[in-house]
Amino acid sequence: MLGNSGPSSPWLVTRLVATEDETGRLDAFLNGSELPDGTTLSRYKSRELCTLGAVAVEGVRADATTRLRLGQTVEWAPALAELALQLHIPVAFADEAALVLNKPAGLAVHKGPLVPHSVADALAQVLPGSGLAQRIDREASGLLLIGRDTEALRSLGIAMEAGAIEREYLAIVHGEVRADQQTIDLPLRVTDEPRGDQPKTIVDPSGQRSVSHVTVEHRRKGASLVRVRLETGRTHQIRAHLKAIGHPLLGDPRYGDAAANDRARATFGVHRTMLHGARLRFPQPATGAIVVVEAMHEPDFARLFPALRRRG
């Protein structure tokens, strides 16, 4: 179960809150931590890392003011701290060819006339020549794969077309999904209806073959936490497929259930589409070695499903 596993990444370092002296604020706990270059993390930078969402307590992303308790675990990536601070986006993995960001909800991936800041902007400023190897909706959170140069992007593009990049998402849906596991194999077509200014994906026999594998992780009254593994990657595939089986994403203003969204907002403070890129498995562009990266869990997910925290 997710609550027992927690996130993992080749870069994450776990520290235990082992003494009463360490049971203060999270940013104070990180202050003075040793970095790979031999320097230590300042209180200012530790606060910034927490603000960015680059630090987890018990597997769930936490802010700087979080009060730690004895026996809790704190996870972060010292080797990626400086790059995260430069990009103003948490970094889950980095090497000479590829980068995996842990995008916060609300941050757009692409530039646009109504987008003051985007992942593309950050990459252009800090890592010119890099580019996006996949997309994720603005209101979704989680892992985003980046190629650091043209050759890396070409290699990742080939891997994506060949189905060699595995993408798994966590989603909170309306209603209690009955089947523990199911495969949704429904063709999808992107249409401009009913809003001409934004595309919407619908199930249509004339559409492209689209396959999503869904596993229920937890259930509660009126909602389910599911893991979705994509076999294909169509626009809004998860949103359209889950709607098609009668369990739309909570918080989704376009594909969701308005009444369920209102209840989730009032009861749990759900203010966004509850979709999170949880796991990436991809071949390293230069060597072909398999890289597996898992994201930290999100606080709004943990509010509805506390079992996501490794400890109570």
pLDDT, tens digit (0-9, with 9 covering 90-100), for 32-66? 999 998 899 999 999 999 999 999 999 999 999 99
Q: State the pLDDT confidence band at 5, using cuts at 50, 70 and 90.
A: very low
Asked if residues 152 and 101 have their Cβ atoms less than 8 Å apart, the reply is: no
Question: What is the structure's pLDDT at 193?
Answer: 60
Q: What is the mean pLDDT of residues 228-256?
A: 95
**pLDDT band, very low/low/confident/very high, at 3 (cuts 50, 70, 90):** very low
- CATH of span 1-81: 3.10.290.10
Handedness of CA 298, 304, 308, 309 (dihedral sign): positive
| pLDDT tens column, 108-130 | 998 777 777 899 999 999 999 99
Q: What pLDDT score was predicted for residue 198?
A: 64
Q: How confident is the model at residue 8 (pLDDT cuts 50, 70, 90)?
A: low
Task: Label the pairing between strands 73-76 and 56-57.
Answer: antiparallel
Query: What pLDDT, on a 0 to 100 scale, did the predictor assign at position 312?
Result: 40
Q: For the whole model, what pTM was predicted?
A: 0.91
- CA dihedral angle for residue 251, residue 253, residue 254, residue 255, rounded to 10 degrees: 30
DSSP category for residue 283: E
The pLDDT, as a whole number, for residue 200 is 86
What is the percentage of the chain residues whose pLDDT exceeds 90?
87
Residue tagged active-site, from 21, 95, 137, 252: 137
Residues 6+ apart with CB under 8 A from 75: 7, 12, 13, 14, 15, 55, 56, 57, 59, 296
Which pair of tokens denotes residue 283? 């071949």
Residue 192 clears pLDDT 80, i.e. is over it: no
Detail the DSSP E strand segments found in 90-180.
91-94, 98-103, 131-132, 141-147, 166-174
pLDDT value for 113: 72
What is the pLDDT at residue 311? 55
Beta bridge partners of residue 183, listed in sequence order: 213
The proportion of the chain whose per-residue pLDDT surpasses 70, expressed as a percent, equals: 94
137 labelled catalytic? yes
Buried b (16+ CB within 10 A) or exposed e, 188-204: bbeeeeeeeeeebbbee
Q: What is the pLDDT of residue 58?
A: 96
Domain boundaries, given as residue ranges, for the chain: 1-81
Model confidence pLDDT, tens digit, residues 125-158: 999 999 999 989 999 999 999 999 999 999 999 9
Rounded mean pLDDT, 86-104: 96
Helix or strand (DSSP H, E) at 75: strand 73-76
DSSP state of 212: E
List Cβ neighbours of 258 (8 Å cut-off, separation of 6 or more). none
